[in-house]
């Protein structure tokens, strides 16, 4: 059972949003309430991503909202992208992950680093969900240090020959196209667009996850894959390419995590008002009020932080380190809110009748992917001291 959603907005952050932002959010909120909430618990139990969501996400404009209209995007600002991510993650982090990957890790690099032909060929179909994309950076031996990647390609004259393996790739098993990062013969990281069905390319799914169960995760294995030369992203060289994509995705995650937290808090508040022990609602006890008050305080701080980073992003001024701070803070905040909310519900908190445990398990992935919690702290440390403690 899920309580009707009431958006916590203690310091009226809504007044800082444009009308367009609110219209977009309302459309996505309706879709999440109508299509995601009724089925997501069962989908997570079944370890299944409902495939019809892909087209519907395209229809509500969740794929590439900030990509220009001429390439199939919605041409919206970065705060619109953020509020969409919040609503999707309120439904489930898996749904937000699908939209994050498609938007920030597939459409964004093709738009930013691709040729005109690549943009016209892929972006409109990715925007509608006709094509599903994935992003291959992490490898079995290289997670936090992607610069050590072992996946390589050779110039064979009329094509490239790609060899290597990627791991933990969202949507790899169902993707039609993948933006894959690999080193050329001189060791420079480049982006290649790999398509499903290319001989030598396989993408086995990873099962038995306790987290993000409604998201498809898998490998990408390349054994002498012939990649046409026109599939190289021409306008980027080096690790800066994938890092710019991650920056965009992390920004969306920082908004998204607020959605999980709001859903957990809303559930805990409603439950505590209804549930009676010792003849009184548990919400009347100080210890439960402390939990609720602290949760709302933390949600409010996270809302303000990411709104401000969003304004800076719209102005082209948001730094990667600011985004790291927001991602790290907001995901940890959401995890703490999920854990506190779970306690407010007592035993009921562990059931699938309420969304809290599912959010909590999902957030254990969200706190690790797109840069771990620790690495983001070290990015902040490096930014304020000028000394990198991690590389
Ligand atoms: C569900 C899911 C989906 C994912 N989707 C994608 C995807 O679509 N595409 C993709 O490319 N990747 C994806 N990832 C991979 C994800 O980005 C990596 O898991 C993440 O970057 C961390 O890498 P790792 O798991 O290898 O951990 P490691 O890098 O091995 O880190 C292990 C621990 O060591 C710590 N650590 C590492 N280096 C340092 C250091 N220098 N100083 C201090 N501590 C350090 C880390 O903080 C962490 O706690 C996904 C992961 C998950 C779980």
How confident is the model at residue 162, as a pLDDT? 98
The torsion angles phi and psi of 149, rounded to 5 degrees, stand at -50, 145
Strand partners, 155: 160
What percentage of the chain has pLDDT greater than the value 90?
98
Q: pLDDT per residue over 206-226, tens digit each?
A: 999 999 999 999 999 999 999
206 lines ligand 1 (CB under 6 A): no
DSSP characters over 252-291 = HHHHHHHHHHHHHHHHHHHHHHH-EETTEEGGGSHHHHHH
Domains and CATH numbers, the chain: 13-132 (1.10.540.10), 134-231 (2.40.110.10), 240-385 (1.20.140.10)
How far apart are alpha carbons 220 and 337 in whole angstroms?
35
Rounded to two decimals, the pTM is 0.98
Q: Are strands 217-228 and 201-202 parallel, antiparallel or unpaired?
A: antiparallel
170 lines ligand 1 (CB under 6 A): yes
Interval 52-58 mean pLDDT? 98
Q: pLDDT at residue 189 above 80?
A: yes
- For the purposes of burial, counting CB atoms within 10 Å of the CB of 391, is it exposed (0-12), middle (13-18) or buried (19 or more)? exposed
Q: pLDDT at residue 2 above 80?
A: no
Report the residue among 105, 108, 138 best suited for mutation to probe ligand 1: largest number of ligand atoms under 8 A from its CB: 138
Q: pLDDT per residue over 77-88, tens digit each?
A: 999 999 999 999
Q: pLDDT at residue 1 above 80?
A: no
Cα–ligand 1 centroid distance for 49 (angstroms): 22
| Residues contacting residue 201 through CB under 8 Å, at least 6 positions apart | 194, 220, 221, 222, 223, 225
The average confidence (pLDDT) of the chain is 98
233 lines ligand 1 (CB under 6 A): no
Q: What's CA 138's distance to the chain center, in Å?
A: 15
Cα–ligand 1 centroid distance for 223 (angstroms): 24
Interval 340-353 mean pLDDT? 97
390 lines ligand 1 (CB under 6 A): yes
Cα–ligand 1 centroid distance for 369 (angstroms): 6
The closest-lying atom of ligand 1 relative to the alpha carbon of residue 365 is 53
135 lines ligand 1 (CB under 6 A): yes
Strand partners, 193: 179
Report the residue among 372, 380, 389 best suited for mutation to probe ligand 1: largest number of ligand atoms under 8 A from its CB: 372
The closest-lying atom of ligand 1 relative to the alpha carbon of residue 138 is 11
Q: pLDDT at residue 274 above 70?
A: yes
How confident is the model at residue 3, as a pLDDT? 87
Residue of the CA atom closest to atom 47 of ligand 1: 374
Cα–ligand 1 centroid distance for 206 (angstroms): 16
Report the residue among 132, 192, 369, 380 best suited for mutation to probe ligand 1: largest number of ligand atoms under 8 A from its CB: 369
365 lines ligand 1 (CB under 6 A): yes
374 lines ligand 1 (CB under 6 A): yes
Residue 20: active-site member: no
Residue of the CA atom closest to atom 31 of ligand 1: 144
The closest-lying atom of ligand 1 relative to the alpha carbon of residue 101 is 8
Q: pLDDT per residue over 222-261, tens digit each?
A: 999 999 999 999 999 999 999 999 999 999 999 999 999 9
């Amino acid at each position: 059972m899920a309580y009707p959603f009431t958006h916590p907005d203690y310091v009226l952050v809504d007044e800082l949003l444009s009308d367009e932002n609110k219209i977009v959010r309302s459309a996505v909120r309706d879709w999440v309430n109508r299509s995601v909430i009724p089925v997501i618990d069962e989908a997570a139990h079944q370890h299944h991503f409902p495939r019809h969501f892909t087209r519907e996400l395209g229809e509500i404009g969740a794929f590439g909202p900030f990509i220009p209209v001429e390439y199939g995007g919605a041409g919206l600002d970065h705060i619109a992208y953020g509020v969409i991510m919040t609503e999707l993650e309120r439904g489930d982090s898996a749904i937000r992950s699908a939209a994050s990957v498609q938007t920030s890790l597939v459409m964004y690099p093709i738009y930013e680093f691709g040729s005109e032909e690549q943009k016209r060929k892929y972006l409109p179909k990715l925007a509608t969900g006709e094509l599903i994309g994935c992003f291959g950076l992490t490898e079995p031996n290289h997670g936090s240090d992607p610069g050590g990647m072992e996946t390589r390609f050779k110039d064979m004259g009329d094509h490239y020959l790609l060899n290597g393996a990627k791991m933990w790739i969202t949507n790899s098993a169902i993707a039609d196209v993948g933006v894959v990062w690999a080193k050329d013969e001189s060791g420079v990281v480049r982006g290649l667009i790999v398509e499903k069905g290319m001989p030598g390319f396989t993408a086995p799914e990873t099962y038995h996850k306790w987290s993000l169960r409604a998201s498809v995760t898998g490998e990408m294995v390349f054994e002498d894959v012939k990649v046409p030369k026109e599939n190289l992203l021409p306008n980027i060289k080096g690790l800066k390419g994938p890092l710019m994509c991650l920056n965009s995705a992390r920004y969306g995650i920082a908004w998204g995590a607020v959605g999980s937290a709001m859903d957990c808090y809303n559930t805990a508040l409603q439950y505590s008002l209804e549930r009676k022990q010792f003849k009184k609602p548990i919400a009347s006890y100080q210890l439960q009020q402390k939990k609720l008050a602290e949760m709302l305080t933390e949600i409010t701080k996270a809302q303000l932080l990411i709104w401000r980073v969003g304004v800076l992003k719209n102005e082209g001024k948001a730094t990667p380190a600011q985004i790291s701070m927001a991602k790290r803070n907001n995901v940890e905040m959401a995890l703490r809110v999920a854990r506190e909310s779970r306690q407010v519900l007592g035993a009921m908190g562990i059931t699938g009748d309420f969304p809290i445990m599912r959010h909590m398990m999902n957030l254990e992935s969200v706190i690790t992917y797109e840069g771990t919690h620790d690495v983001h702290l070290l990015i902040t440390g490096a930014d304020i001291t000028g000394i990198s403690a991690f590389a």
